[in-house]
């Protein structure tokens, strides 16, 4: 029986799913599918044109009917015959979908895409047999469980924070189900039963939810049987030829049609043309792969259905007739010049025409929208609790439906209008997790610097016996292989050096070289600290104009923002407004990735100043970015009296002269400009605020010129990847910082690959983007590379048009080429890194970076940020020269970029760049500075100590506190087995600065690793004692069989010492207060000091 090829406005051809205005809205398709489910009973399959369309429809179905088993079957997230295998998450979700379909009870709906349908899947028996189910109270045999994980594609990692990973730490097992949404923590009882199941946050590693049952499947479609398994790596996907690997395991595979069974299937309109497009991609990839293998036949070619198999399978499936005509998207009110008025007019019109109007959403923002609609319509909203009840509502009814539906639809045939919250307030973001400015973890093999011994390499975590007690120690290796064991008590003296160990200048042990170098650096840091204190004092004392925007005018401006603020944005805006209203000079850095909302913060800061009558300058690094900012500012200030101008190469000399005149006489309120604003012939009537976008592109001299534009100038800098010196200034407290970590709604991280240049792989990557209607960037490090690579590209992809852009082009030609490409002219833009900043091309979702090892880390992150700005999956290929071994530092940079592929990774990359390059002397011009000599971490600590050295409280505070209590505590290997993880926990504990941090660490230990053993409890108690002792001027705590003692640092108040001695049978011997007290156990000794220090805190 033939399947039904549905009509509904979806055009044929490979670009169909990109033409959103012509495609029925996902919520409308979901509504029609729910109606169809009532006709077909047990199951239904809908095949969308693309993965993105399928995902949107599943999301909408789940919003409308949460009870229905709505299952998404995605395709692999790589090209056919790709060098890069599909991710564990991609394969895990496919296996999860197939298992859910086969085992769902009651009604079920499978939504998939054409490319997923064209690919065969493992046999049904393999899918059914490889399922794991965990329940609290049931026994778990650890070796069998680990065998299951190893043979189903999971990989072992010490910290489980990505799909398809696991670790077993004694009685605690962490696993991130490949087809799941969050990692799971399993806690076992002494008898081997499951005591607890928890989901936890992948970033913080802290518990989110307590569970009773967990069920999950494989992380690979290549499942090994017991006799084939040969160790933990045997089931891992090969680096390429995944197709051949599947056939070698199973011999034959089933089609998705066979896996689905005899249920009705619906294909989106345009399916035949889209299937032909995918077949062309498969054919091209197969030919390229065959050429790569010297003309040999490609094994595993039957993984994909050929054209005849596809047509036979499609037309042999049961069909169901569903009418998708008539569904139209509702207006995007948030894009209107007057969003509130547009929304009000639409609502009044819909209700006036007796349409049923459904408001879908939930939460505080939705409640405010509902109340507004009720006020404007004089109609009370009636809640509906099941979507099926909507059809029974009377014409002209105002209904509310509690769901997370983002976008609605309009259907005249059914007299129905549905408005999702996103239609009204714009795309919304999920809450992001705050990311602190913290250095990367230490790894075994890293170059480190010890405060007493200098620069060496961290070799291992070992056991050391001191005074009859065994404790963990770190072995550091120095020049000529000499080594030293650092006891746990001195772990706070170990700091990451940064860079590659092979290039580190190792010190010699037992010489004066390090001590002399450290002494000289300390002297210079002390001088720098005095200078920085003067700068900070000057900044605090510098009076600046106080700006509090007129409330009504500012609120009208704010109301034109079409989206909901994220938490990070709200906090940043509050901080900026407080700065402007403080009467002191603002100097704030806003860090956030592309699309995370930096521009809105700049807009509101500019509004606050301009509405008070002063001038604002917005400085962008490129003419293209300046043009885009100008258009944004012009649109947002359209309904105000604020006058805005653009000053860049895009304006004529005559226009430029007129703009400069307007700035000088105050007729222009806001100017958006490139560095042309720093010209000597430019003056302002009343410049009060400068906003610097992508501040890392601005040189030190240019920044100094900006400072000289006007006394007491407020400065707001924005960057995704601030340069090391700026970041170091922020960490030193010379500049206030606001972090934006919340990602844009439904935006997906860019998949990043490091591969050698291969014509077949390059063609496949570019053709994939071309055939889905997109554009691609190809970036080269030098202008000289462009002509050669342009010739190569025209040979590899003759069907695609190539545009070029580089710095030697005439400015008008360069700007024209870039702007034209952004407007859709050309399939490939071949360019130098001139497009690093300021180019927004929504249709560009693939970037290839030739000789990626020649770019800096922040440059690579900025280049990668040119793609993936929408909801479509984007790809970045870091191409290297074939047969060339990468230098170690280049490999380190590229690995950092690949590891930081999540949204919002810019600040992490800057911190690693700071670590690799050093931050420079923040009081001068030397970019290497002292950080290059002693490492970022130690430099930061010494600078903090020097800055803090001027306070009275710090003058009597010892550098560290030592203890002789007969017990040190430890983190047993049986509790945390991974030595690198254990080392970093020790170091975090040693470098904690407050009792509250110790308590927090204790809670984290118990959450992540299980019940705290006695050794860890002792370690935490002693760490807390040390912190409190240091705060009170004590540098040593001692205990023996017949007495206890404390030693005071110079400058400790004599009154405290005297009072402690009274009534305690204590004797003062110089700086040592001795208590004649017999203590039999370590616990009693610790308890004595806890009570004693408690008395000191009370005093």
Q: Same fold for the domain at 1-129+236-326 and the one at 330-424? A: yes
CB 1074 within 8 A of CB 1066: yes
Which is more confidently placed, 999 or 761? 999
Strands 213-216 and 132-135: antiparallel
CB 871 within 8 A of CB 748: yes
End-to-end Cα, the chain, rounded Å? 89
CB 884 within 8 A of CB 868: no
Q: How many CB atoms lie within 10 A of CB 18?
A: 17
Q: What is the pLDDT of residue 708?
A: 73
The pLDDT of 466-472, averaged and rounded, is 75
Give the helix/strand (H/E) hosting 773: none
pLDDT tens profile 1048-1096: 887 666 666 666 666 667 788 878 888 887 777 888 888 888 888 774 4
Q: Of 2-6, 588-592, 724-728, 1029-1033, give the lowest mean pLDDT range.
A: 2-6
Name the pLDDT band for 81 (thresholds 50, 70, 90).
Answer: confident
Domain 542-740 CATH (choose: 3.40.50.300, 1.20.1090.10, 3.30.565.10, 1.10.630.10): 3.40.50.300
Q: What is the pLDDT of residue 927?
A: 30
Distance, in Å, from the CA atom of 345 to the CA atom of 495, rounded to the nearest integer, reads: 63
The pLDDT of 462-490, averaged and rounded, is 85
Q: In CATH, which superfamily holds the domain spanning 995-1098?
A: Transcription-repair-coupling factor, D7 domain (3.90.1150.50)
Q: What is the pLDDT of residue 722?
A: 56
pLDDT tens profile 267-311: 998 888 889 988 988 888 777 767 655 554 545 457 899 999 999
The pLDDT of 193-215, averaged and rounded, is 92
* 294: three-class secondary structure by DSSP: coil
Q: Which residues contact 266 (CB under 8 A, 6 or more apart)?
A: 3, 4, 6, 33, 36, 44, 45, 46, 47, 319, 320, 322
Q: What is the pLDDT of residue 562?
A: 64
Q: How many residues does the chain have?
A: 1099
The pLDDT of 19-35, averaged and rounded, is 79
Q: What is the pLDDT of residue 881?
A: 87
Distance, in Å, from the CA atom of 959 to the CA atom of 954, rounded to the nearest integer, reads: 10
Question: Average per-residue pLDDT in the chain?
Answer: 81
In this structure, which long-range contacts are made by residues 881-886, counting pairs with CB atoms below 8 Å and at least 24 apart in sequence? 881/756, 881/757, 881/851, 882/756, 882/757, 882/758, 883/756, 886/853
Q: Of 292-301, 630-639, 671-680, give the lowest mean pLDDT range.
A: 292-301
Distance, in Å, from the CA atom of 1041 to the CA atom of 1047, rounded to the nearest integer, reads: 18
Q: What is the pLDDT of residue 909?
A: 47
Judged against a pLDDT cut of 80, whether residue 667 lies above it is answered with: yes
Which is more confidently placed, 387 or 835? 387
Please report, for the chain, the start and end positions of each structural domain, with discontinuous segments joined by +.
Answer: 1-129+236-326, 330-424, 542-740, 751-902, 995-1098
| Of the ranges 736-745, 845-854, 958-967, 1077-1086, the best mean pLDDT one | 845-854
Q: Of 132-136, 333-337, 454-458, 776-780, give the lowest mean pLDDT range.
A: 333-337
The pLDDT of 188-203, averaged and rounded, is 91
pTM of the shown model = 0.73
Which is more confidently placed, 393 or 19? 393
Name the pLDDT band for 526 (thresholds 50, 70, 90).
Answer: confident
Q: Of 738-752, 866-880, 997-1011, give the lowest mean pLDDT range.
A: 738-752
Judged against a pLDDT cut of 60, whether residue 724 lies above it is answered with: no
Judged against a pLDDT cut of 80, whether residue 732 lies above it is answered with: no
Which is more confidently placed, 159 or 3? 159
The pLDDT of 788-810, averaged and rounded, is 90
Percent of the chain that is helix, strand, coil (3-state, to 5): 40, 20, 40
| Of the ranges 137-151, 919-933, 1064-1078, the best mean pLDDT one | 137-151
Give Dmax (Cα) for the chain: 100
Q: Is 554 exposed, middle or buried (0-12, 13-18, 19+ CB in 10 A)?
A: middle
CA R_g for the chain: 32
Q: What is the pLDDT of residue 546?
A: 92
pLDDT tens profile 829-885: 999 987 755 567 778 889 999 998 888 776 787 788 788 766 677 889 999 888 777
The pLDDT of 695-699, averaged and rounded, is 68
The pLDDT of 1027-1035, averaged and rounded, is 85
Judged against a pLDDT cut of 80, whether residue 210 lies above it is answered with: yes
State the DSSP string of 264-293: -EEE-TTHHHHHHHHHHHHHHHHHHHHHHT
Q: What is the pLDDT of residue 232?
A: 42
Distance, in Å, from the CA atom of 283 to the CA atom of 1074, rounded to the nearest integer, reads: 85
Q: What is the pLDDT of residue 751?
A: 84
CB 62 within 8 A of CB 266: no
The gap from C-alpha 546 to its chain's centroid, in whole angstroms, comes to 36
* 126: three-class secondary structure by DSSP: helix
Distance, in Å, from the CA atom of 379 to the CA atom of 400, rounded to the nearest integer, reads: 12
Which CATH class name applies to 1-129+236-326?
A: alpha beta
Distance, in Å, from the CA atom of 943 to the CA atom of 732, rounded to the nearest integer, reads: 8
The pLDDT of 645-659, averaged and rounded, is 87
Judged against a pLDDT cut of 50, whether residue 925 lies above it is answered with: no
Judged against a pLDDT cut of 90, whether residue 241 lies above it is answered with: no
% of the chain beyond a pLDDT of 70: 82
768, 801, 814: which is closest to 627 by C-alpha? 814
Which is more confidently placed, 4 or 85? 85
Distance, in Å, from the CA atom of 820 to the CA atom of 249, rounded to the nearest integer, reads: 50
Strands 615-619 and 687-693: parallel
Half-sphere exposure of 207 (CA within 13 A, CB side): 17
Distance, in Å, from the CA atom of 735 to the CA atom of 718, rounded to the nearest integer, reads: 12
- CATH number of this structure's domain 751-902: 3.40.50.300
Q: Which residues contact 93 (CB under 8 A, 6 or more apart)?
A: 72, 74, 178, 179
Judged against a pLDDT cut of 80, whether residue 889 lies above it is answered with: no
Q: What is the pLDDT of residue 230?
A: 45
Q: For domain 330-424, is the CATH number 3.40.50.11140?
A: yes
User: Which spans in 41-138 are helix H?
Assistant: 51-64, 88-103, 114-117, 124-129
* 772: three-class secondary structure by DSSP: coil
Judged against a pLDDT cut of 90, whether residue 48 lies above it is answered with: yes
Q: What is the pLDDT of residue 747?
A: 58
CB 899 within 8 A of CB 892: no
Name the pLDDT band for 597 (thresholds 50, 70, 90).
Answer: confident
Judged against a pLDDT cut of 70, whether residue 529 lies above it is answered with: yes
């Amino acid at each position: 029986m033939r399947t039904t090829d549905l009509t509904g406005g979806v055009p044929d051809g490979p670009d169909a799913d990109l033409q959103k205005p012509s495609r029925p809205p996902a919520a409308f398709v979901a509504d029609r599918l729910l109606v169809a489910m009532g006709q077909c009973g047990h199951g239904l399959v809908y095949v969308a044109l693309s993965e993105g369309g399928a995902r949107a429809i599943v999301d909408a179905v789940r919003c409308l009917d949460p009870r229905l088993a709505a299952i998404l079957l995605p395709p692999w997230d790589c090209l056919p015959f790709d060098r890069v295998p599909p991710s564990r998450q991609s394969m895990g979700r496919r296996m999860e979908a197939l298992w859910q379909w086969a085992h769902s009870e009651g009604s079920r709906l499978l939504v998939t895409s054409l490319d997923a349908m064209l690919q065969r899947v493992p046999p049904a028996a393999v899918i059914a047999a490889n399922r794991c189910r965990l329940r609290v109270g049931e026994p778990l045999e650890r070796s069998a469980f680990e065998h299951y994980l190893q043979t189903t594609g999971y990989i072992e990692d010490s910290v489980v924070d990505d799909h398809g990973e696991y670790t077993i730490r004694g009685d605690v097992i962490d696993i991130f189900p490949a087809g799941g949404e969050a990692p799971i923590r399993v806690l076992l009882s002494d008898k081997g039963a499951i005591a607890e199941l928890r989901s936890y946050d992948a970033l913080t590693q802290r518990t989110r939810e307590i569970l009773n049952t967990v069920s999950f499947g494989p992380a690979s479609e290549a499942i090994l049987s017991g006799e084939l398994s040969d160790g933990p790596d045997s089931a891992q996907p090969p680096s390429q030829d995944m197709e051949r690997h599947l056939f070698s395991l199973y011999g034959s595979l089933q089609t998705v049609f066979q896996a689905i069974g005899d249920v009705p299937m619906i294909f989106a309109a345009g399916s035949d043309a889209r299937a032909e497009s995918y077949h062309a991609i498969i054919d091209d990839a197969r030919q390229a792969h065959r050429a790569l293998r010297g003309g040999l036949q490609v094994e595993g070619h039957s993984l994909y259905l050929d054209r005849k198999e596809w047509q036979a399978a499609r037309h042999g499936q049961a069909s169901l007739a569903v009418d998708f005509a008539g569904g139209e998207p509702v207006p995007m009110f948030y894009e209107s010049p007057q969003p509130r008025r547009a929304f009000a007019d639409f609502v009044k019109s819909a209700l006036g025409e007796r349409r049923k109007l459904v408001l879908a959403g939930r939460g505080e923002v939705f409640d405010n929208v509902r109340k507004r609609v009720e006020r404007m319509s004089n109609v009370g909203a009636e809640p509906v609790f099941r979507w099926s009840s909507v059809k029974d509502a009377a014409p002209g009814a105002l209904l509310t439906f509690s769901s997370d539906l983002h976008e609605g639809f309009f259907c005249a045939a059914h007299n129905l209008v549905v408005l999702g919250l996103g239609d009204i307030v714009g795309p919304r973001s999920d809450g992001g997790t705050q990311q602190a400015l913290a250095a990367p973890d230490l790894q075994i093999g890293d170059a480190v610097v010890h405060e007493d011994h200098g620069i060496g390499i961290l070799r291992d975590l070992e056991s050391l016996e001191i005074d009859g007690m065994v404790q963990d120690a770190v072995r550091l290796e120095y020049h000529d292989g000499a080594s030293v064991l650092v006891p746990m008590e001195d772990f706070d003296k170990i700091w990451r050096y940064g860079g590659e160990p092979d290039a580190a200048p190792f010190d010699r042990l037992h010489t004066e070289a390090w001590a002399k170098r450290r002494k000289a650096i300390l002297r210079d840091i002390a001088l720098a600290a005095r200078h920085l204190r003067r700068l900070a004092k000057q900044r605090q004392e510098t009076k600046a104009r106080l700006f509090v925007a007129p409330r009504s005018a500012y609120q009208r401006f704010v109301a034109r923002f079409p989206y909901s603020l994220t938490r990070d944005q709200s906090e940043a805006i509050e901080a900026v407004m407080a700065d402007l209203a403080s009467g002191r000079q603002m100097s704030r850095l806003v860090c956030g990735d592309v699309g995370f909302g930096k521009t809105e913060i700049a807009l509101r800061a500019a509004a606050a100043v301009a509405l008070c009558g002063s001038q604002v300058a917005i400085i962008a690094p490129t003419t293209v970015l300046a043009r885009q900012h100008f258009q944004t500012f012009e649109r947002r200030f359209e309904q105000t009296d604020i006058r805005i101008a653009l000053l860049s190469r895009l304006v004529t000399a005559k226009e430029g002269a007129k703009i400069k005149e307007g700035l000088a006489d105050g007729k222009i309120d806001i100017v958006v400009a490139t560095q042309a604003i720093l010209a000597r012939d430019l003056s302002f009537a009343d410049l009060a605020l400068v906003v610097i976008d992508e501040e890392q592109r601005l040189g030190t001299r240019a920044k100094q010129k900006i400072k000289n534009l006007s006394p007491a100038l407020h400065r707001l800098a924005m960057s995704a990847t601030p340069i090391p010196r700026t970041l170091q200034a922020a960490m030193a407290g010379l500049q206030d910082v606001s972090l934006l970590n919340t990602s844009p709604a439904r935006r997906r991280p860019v998949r990043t690959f490091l591969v050698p240049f291969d014509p077949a792989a390059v063609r496949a990557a570019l053709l994939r983007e071309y055939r889905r209607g997109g554009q691609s960037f190809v970036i080269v490090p030098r202008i000289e590379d462009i002509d050669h690579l342009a010739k190569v590209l025209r040979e590899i992809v003759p069907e695609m048009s190539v545009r070029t852009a580089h710095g030697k082009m005439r400015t008008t030609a360069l700007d024209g080429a870039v702007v034209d490409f952004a407007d859709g002219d050309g399939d490939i833009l071949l360019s130098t890194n001139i497009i690093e900043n300021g180019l927004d091309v929504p249709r560009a979702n693939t970037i290839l970076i030739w000789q990626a090892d020649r770019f800096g880390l922040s440059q690579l992150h900025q280049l990668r940020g040119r793609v993936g700005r929408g909801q479509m999956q984007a790809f970045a290929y870091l191409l290297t020269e074939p047969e060339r071994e990468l230098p170690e530092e280049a490999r380190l940079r590229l690995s950092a970029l690949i590891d930081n592929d999540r949204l919002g990774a810019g600040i992490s990359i800057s911190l690693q760049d700071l670590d690799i390059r050093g931050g420079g002397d923040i009081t001068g011009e030397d970019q290497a500075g002292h950080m290059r000599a002693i490492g970022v971490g130690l430099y930061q600590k010494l600078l903090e100590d020097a800055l803090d050295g001027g306070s009275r409280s710090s003058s009597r505070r010892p550098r560290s506190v030592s203890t002789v209590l007969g017990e040190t505590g430890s983190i047993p290997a049986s509790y945390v087995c991974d030595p690198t993880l254990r080392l970093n926990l020790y170091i975090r504990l040693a470098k904690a600065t407050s009792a509250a941090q110790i308590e927090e660490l204790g809670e984290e230990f118990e959450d992540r690793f299980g019940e705290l053993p006695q050794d860890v409890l002792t370690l935490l108690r002693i760490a807390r004692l040390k912190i409190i002792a240091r705060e009170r001027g004590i540098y040593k705590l001692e205990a023996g069989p017949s007495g206890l003692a404390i030693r005071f640092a110079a400058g400790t108040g004599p009154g405290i010492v005297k009072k402690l001695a009274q009534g305690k049978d204590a004797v003062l011997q110089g700086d040592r207060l001795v208590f004649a007290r017999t203590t039999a156990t370590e616990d009693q000794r610790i308890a004595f000091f806890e009570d004693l220090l408690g008395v000191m805190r009370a005093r």
